[in-house]
Amino acid sequence: MKVIKNFFIVIALFILSQISMTVFSIVQISITKPLSVLGLSAMILMVVVNIAILLWLAKKLKLIEFNTAWLTKKNMLIIIGSTVLLRIIAIGGTLLIQQLNGTQTSDNDAALGVMFNNVNPLLLFLIIAISAPIMEEIVFRAGIIKLLCEKLPILGVVLSSICFGFLHMATDIPNFVLYASMGLVFALAYYKTGRLEVSIMVHFFNNAIGAIAMILMQ
């Protein structure tokens, strides 16, 4: 009974985590020119509120602790090591996709490039580098590993990695392997430390690199 309850909690967290991104996508499709100052401010506020609500729920569900106990030397080394490993996986995965698919980048990165074309740098960085890591780690790591697979955390690590791969536009095996492997790094960072803040920071640094690259290319 508890597993069923937690399953629906994870689904609810996932749906909530997609609100701001869904609204942003609809707006991007609907308009043909950059957002006005008022529109940009409203969009930023919506993303921030979405993040705040999800963090509040994560705190209520005891998925995250708002203290500095996670700031240890061991955890810092895990964050740095995981970030380096993710860059290696990203580069290797992209090269594999180029060789096998004949495309320059992954399907997910290509879609993001189109979606965030000419988007305000602040909004771009907020969504990709801050919102996505927080939202996805709460759902995929804390939600699946701690809530859904509390008694079988290894299963949770595997399941969260698979789900992460499929939900990042994995239309073929190379794309799936790339994102499932990245999901595995996030999952192991969370599993090894037991702190969601650690996997969020790993995810943040990984996404921040991509976000900055997108901003510089605009």
Integer-rounded Cα Rg, in Å, for the chain is 17
CB atoms within 10 A of CB 6: 18
| Residue reference for tokens 């580098």 | 129
182 CB-side CA count, 13 A: 34
Note the pLDDT of residue 32. Answer: 76
Q: What are the φ and ψ backbone dihedral angles of 58, each rounded to 5 degrees?
A: -60, -40
Segments forming the whole domain that contains residue 183: 2-217
Overall size of the chain counted in residues? 218
Note the pLDDT of residue 44. Answer: 97
The pLDDT > 90 percentage for the chain reads 82
Where does the pLDDT of residue 92 fall: very low under 50, low under 70, confident under 90, or very high at 90 and above? very high
Q: Check residue 146 and report its DSSP letter.
A: I
pTM comes to 0.94
Answer yes or no: is pLDDT of 218 > 80.
no
CB atoms within 10 A of CB 87: 13
**Per-chain mean pLDDT for the chain:** 94
Number of folded domains in the chain?
Answer: 1
Note the pLDDT of residue 52. Answer: 97
d(CA 40, CA 35): 5
d(CA 129, CA 133): 7
Per-residue pLDDT of 109-137, as tens digits, reads 988 988 998 899 999 999 999 999 999 99
